[in-house]
């Protein structure tokens, strides 16, 4: 009897299938406490810090992108390009690319920076432009003359690459002109162009433009019909010839080495290399930036100076999209400009 009871007890103490081994028997109805380890806590902390760090980095990335992309659009910073005594400065103002109203504003801002700095003794206008709009070229020309008159400081034009048409128009506002040996200049003249869309609209697209006007010449020139000889002569007399006469007069005023007859002979739209331009007295000297600096120092009456230039700071939006040269957008302003005649001081051979 006792043996049978002991045998039953012995069987109950044997490990059962699918049950964990335990050295201590557990009384029925008593829950086994769960085993907690430090690893779960450790990985929980690591995960929390990782999520928090990613959020902070994301916010910082947004801030950096906003800082570079939205930064001041028309801000210029001063950059030293040639060391020298800081009490004397030669400021290089850059005129690069097609001249338009935006380019005119940029040049004006650079000239204003030079005007506000009393240590600037002379200005070098570095030109690499085939020209552009008549108004933009004239605005830059006027700003240079105003700086010379108001500040009494010399301005030297330095032609680097191309300084044709409007690029030359702005250069003759300076005291002296120096050009690199490979520069192209001249192209004194006016060009006008516009698109005639009549055949495209009427024959290809089936669109019939309707124009209501108060007088016959109100819509001359008209992009919706081919011009007549009378209309072309009208534009020649009203726009091209006056703009050309002004260009000739500007060159005559800015180049005392030339008389009016010389300027009129040269103002046939021809371009000139540096050697020929020097022979024709369109420029004063052939050289590089170092020679332009020496000329500016001589005109300012000083022996040495720190040479600085004004440039726009880095902008992420400029890098990605390029201000003024970004993705072409079709809007009503672009369509108006596309269909409107353009009167330009521009050399189109580039």
Q: Convert the pLDDT of each residue in 288-308 to its tens digit.
A: 999 999 999 999 999 999 999
**Residue keyed to tokens 């690319």:** 97
**How many angstroms separate the Cα of 271 from the Cα of each of 150, 171, 184, 203, 277?**
33, 15, 7, 40, 9
More confident call, 4 vs 129: 129
What are φ and ψ of residue 288, in 5° steps? -115, -170
* Average pLDDT for the chain: 82
Going by pLDDT thresholds of 50, 70 and 90, the confidence category of residue 180 is very high
Exactly one of 129, 165, 171, 183 is catalytic; name it.
165
d(CA 146, CA 71): 30
Exactly one of 213, 218, 238, 241 is catalytic; name it.
218
Helix or strand or coil: residue 241?
helix
Q: What is the CATH number of domain 77-346?
A: 3.90.226.10
Active site residue 31: no
Residue 96 has pLDDT above 50, yes or no: yes
Angle at 81 between CA 77 and CA 87, to 5 degrees: 80
d(CA 289, CA 277): 18
Under a CB-based contact definition with an 8 Å cutoff, are residues 110 and 310 in contact? yes
Residue-level pLDDT at 318:
53
Residues 6 or more apart whose Cβ sits within 8 Å of residue 141: 169, 170, 172, 173, 250
Token output for 159: 């032609």
pTM (predicted TM-score): 0.74
Quick one: average pLDDT of 8-27? 48
More confident call, 272 vs 76: 272
Q: Among residues 187, 282, 191, 166, which one has the least CA distance to residue 241?
A: 191
Neighbours of 255 (CB within 10 A): 20
Write down the H helix ranges in 177-273.
198-199, 229-235, 241-254, 260-266
Active site residue 165: yes
More confident call, 17 vs 233: 233
Quick one: average pLDDT of 160-185? 97
Residue-level pLDDT at 38:
65
More confident call, 14 vs 90: 90
């Amino acid at each position: 009897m006792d043996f049978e009871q002991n045998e039953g007890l012995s069987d109950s103490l044997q490990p059962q299938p699918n049950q964990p081994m335990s050295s201590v028997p557990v009384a029925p109805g008593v829950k086994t406490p769960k085993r907690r380890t430090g690893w779960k806590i450790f990985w929980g902390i690591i995960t929390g810090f990782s999520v928090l760090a990613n959020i902070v980095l994301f916010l910082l990335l947004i801030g950096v992108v906003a800082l570079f992309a939205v930064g001041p659009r028309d801000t210029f910073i001063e950059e030293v390009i040639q060391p020298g005594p800081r009490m004397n400065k030669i400021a290089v103002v850059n005129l690069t690319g097609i001249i338009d109203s935006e380019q005119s504003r940029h040049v004006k801002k650079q000239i204003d920076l030079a005007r506000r700095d009393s240590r600037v003794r002379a200005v070098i206008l570095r030109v690499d432009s085939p020209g552009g709009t008549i108004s933009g070229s004239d605005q830059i020309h006027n700003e240079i003359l105003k700086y010379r008159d108001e500040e009494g400081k010399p301005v030297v034009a330095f032609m680097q690459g191309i300084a044709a048409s409007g690029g030359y128009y702005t250069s003759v506002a300076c005291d002296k002109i120096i050009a690199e040996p490979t520069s192209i200049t001249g192209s004194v003249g006016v060009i006008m162009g516009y698109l005639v869309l009549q055949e495209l609209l009427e024959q290809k697209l089936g669109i019939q433009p309707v124009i209501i006007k108060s007088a016959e010449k109100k819509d001359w020139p008209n992009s919706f019909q081919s011009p007549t000889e009378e209309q072309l002569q009208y534009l020649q007399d009203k726009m091209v010839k006056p703009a050309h006469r002004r260009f000739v007069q500007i060159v005559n005023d800015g180049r005392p080495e030339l008389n009016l007859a010389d300027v009129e002979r040269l103002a046939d739209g021809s371009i000139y290399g540096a050697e020929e331009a020097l022979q024709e007295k369109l420029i004063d000297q052939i050289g590089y930036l170092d020679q332009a600096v020496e000329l500016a120092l001589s005109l300012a009456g000083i022996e040495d100076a720190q040479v600085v230039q004004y440039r726009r700071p880095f902008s992420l939006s400029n890098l990605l999209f390029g201000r003024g040269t970004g993705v072409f957008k079709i809007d009503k302003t672009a369509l108006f400009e596309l269909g409107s005649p353009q009167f330009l001081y521009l050399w189109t051979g580039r």
